[in-house]
């Protein structure tokens, strides 16, 4: 295998998978928030909650729509760039990828379509059930993709037949600790991302002295009070993953030179000549960035929970508003750093201890891989820019001009526009 092809394939997958993951995090978190807000709106009948469903739901739909396209693009890479992986281990993790595709692209999108276009057409409780269907299938989709990823990091439940891995124990694969702990970590991270996003957008409107002060004051409090427990959940599941970490990754992260040398010698004895040490600079830097982002978010969450308890602070503390706006990227930084730490740290293995990355890449020329990288990266950059522009545009407009849930009478006569959607 040409080393340049391998490097280009790894870079392409890192950029596209990492980019898609950033969409997924906000989608999962906002779906949960919107479902809870609609539950409150439906049960209480309060107009404020109903308007919040429409505004935050609009931002969720935008992020979901663009994110689903990035997911489709990323799926092509398994066949285009990593045919060796699918040939050698596809019988084990292929079923979880198939389930993720069915759930995300069919079941979840169907529920979401019914929720979007079923406003004012379904009974309010049916409409509420639809958004919970969207949320639960979103988490199911995340679980199945992490089952596949968990197998790559900790291969269990398989046996080898004719040089290929085949499924031997379904329960072991589905309950893989590497997958379950990562799932809890991602769930917490998604809620943390949504909390910081809500707080930041709300802080912007309060900083600008928006007329919707009650709306965004409530939203800011929800975002702040959601972020603190979400951070603890994220940290707990993240910390538990350190217990079962690959020994080489742990040694590299801890900068234990003697341990690294010993593990390298053991690997050479077991698997033959080769470099079994992952990129020390990449792995260690990513891990440190992740922990630094966590420490900063911890401080902001604790301070925010205290400050949000005071009404005047919520509406008048402009410096805090600026801090909240600036803090929106922090969960993204932590997540992408954590993802790089998890994936780069297991190199040179694509299936740990069973299949090397160099043996998993497709037999294509460096030129073809370079063209593929340019096309995929350009498309992802365009989608990311489009998503950023749409979200910023709609977030700045506020809830007054939200189109989601607008019925025909409201659209034909803006003077009749509801201060709240009806349930």
CA angle at residue 257 from 252 to 262, to 5 degrees? 95
| pLDDT tens column, 96-110 | 888 887 877 788 889
Does 142 have pLDDT greater than 70? Answer: yes
398 closest CA partner among 116, 55, 53: 55
DSSP string, 274-323: S-----HHHHHHHHHHHHHHHHHHHHHHHHHHHHTTSHHHHHH-HHHHHH
Q: At what angle do helices 280-307 and 213-243 cross, to 10 degrees?
A: 140
| pLDDT tens column, 323-342 | 999 999 999 999 999 999 99
Does 196 have pLDDT greater than 60? Answer: yes
- Measured between alpha carbons, how far is 213 from 194 in angstroms, rounded to an integer? 20
Residue 36's contacts (CB-CB under 8 Å, 6 or more residues apart) are none
Which residues are registered as beta bridge partners of 160?
165
- Measured between alpha carbons, how far is 60 from 422 in angstroms, rounded to an integer? 20
173, 157 Cβ separation under 8 angstroms: yes
Does 422 have pLDDT greater than 50? Answer: no
Does 419 have pLDDT greater than 50? Answer: no
Residue 423 confidence class, pLDDT cut points 50, 70, 90: very low
Residue 230 CB: number of other CB atoms within 10 A? 25
Two tokens, residue 293: 């982002």
Give the global pTM.
0.90
Two tokens, residue 369: 């891989």
Does 415 have pLDDT greater than 70? Answer: no
What is residue 120's predicted lDDT score, i.e. its pLDDT? 85
SS3 state of residue 217: helix
What is residue 412's predicted lDDT score, i.e. its pLDDT? 46
Handedness of CA 331, 337, 343, 345 (dihedral sign): negative
Which residues are registered as beta bridge partners of 159?
166
Average pLDDT over all residues of the chain:
88
Hey, which of 97-106, 272-281, 408-417 has the most confident mean pLDDT? Answer: 272-281
Does 79 have pLDDT greater than 90? Answer: no
């Amino acid at each position: 295998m040409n080393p340049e092809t391998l490097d280009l394939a790894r870079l392409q997958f890192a950029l596209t998978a990492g980019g898609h993951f950033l969409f997924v995090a906000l989608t999962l978190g906002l779906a949960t928030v919107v479902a809870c807000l609609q539950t409150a709106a439906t049960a209480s009948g309060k107009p404020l909650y109903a308007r919040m469903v429409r505004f935050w739901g609009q931002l969720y739909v935008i992020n979901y729509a663009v994110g689903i396209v990035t997911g489709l693009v990323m799926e092509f890479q398994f066949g285009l760039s990593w045919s060796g992986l699918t040939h050698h281990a596809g019988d084990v993790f292929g079923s979880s990828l198939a389930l993720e595709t069915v759930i995300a692209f069919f079941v979840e999108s169907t529920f979401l379509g019914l929720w979007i276009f079923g406003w004012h057409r379904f009974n309010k409780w049916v409409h509420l059930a639809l958004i919970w269907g969207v949320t639960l299938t979103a988490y199911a989709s995340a679980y199945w993709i992490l089952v596949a990823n968990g197998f790559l990091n900790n291969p269990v439940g398989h046996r080898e037949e004719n040089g290929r891995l085949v499924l031997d124990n379904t329960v072991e694969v589905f309950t893989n600790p590497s997958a379950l702990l990562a799932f809890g970590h991602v769930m917490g991270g998604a809620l943390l991302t949504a909390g910081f996003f809500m707080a930041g957008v709300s802080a912007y409107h309060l900083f600008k002295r928006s007329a919707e002060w009650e709306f965004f004051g409530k939203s800011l409090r929800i975002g702040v009070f959601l972020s603190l427990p979400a951070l603890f959940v994220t940290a707990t599941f993240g910390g538990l993953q350190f217990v079962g970490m690959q020994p080489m990754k742990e040694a590299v992260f801890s900068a234990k030179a003697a341990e690294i040398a010993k593990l390298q010698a053991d690997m050479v004895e077991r698997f033959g000549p080769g470099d079994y040490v992952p990129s020390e600079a990449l792995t260690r830097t990513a891990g440190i960035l992740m922990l630094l982002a966590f420490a900063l978010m911890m401080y902001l969450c604790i301070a925010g929970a205290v400050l949000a308890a005071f009404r005047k602070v919520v509406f008048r503390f402009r410096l805090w508003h600026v801090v909240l706006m600036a803090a929106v990227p922090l969960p993204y930084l932590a997540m992408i750093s954590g993802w790089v730490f998890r994936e780069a740290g297991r190199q040179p293995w694509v299936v740990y201890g069973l299949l090397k990355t160099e043996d998993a890449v497709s037999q294509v020329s460096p030129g073809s891989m370079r063209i593929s990288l340019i096309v995929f990266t350009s498309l992802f950059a365009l989608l990311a820019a489009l998503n950023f522009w749409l979200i910023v545009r709609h977030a700045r407009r506020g809830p007054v001009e939200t189109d989601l849930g607008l019925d025909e009478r409201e659209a034909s006569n803006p003077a009749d526009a509801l201060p709240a959607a009806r349930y």
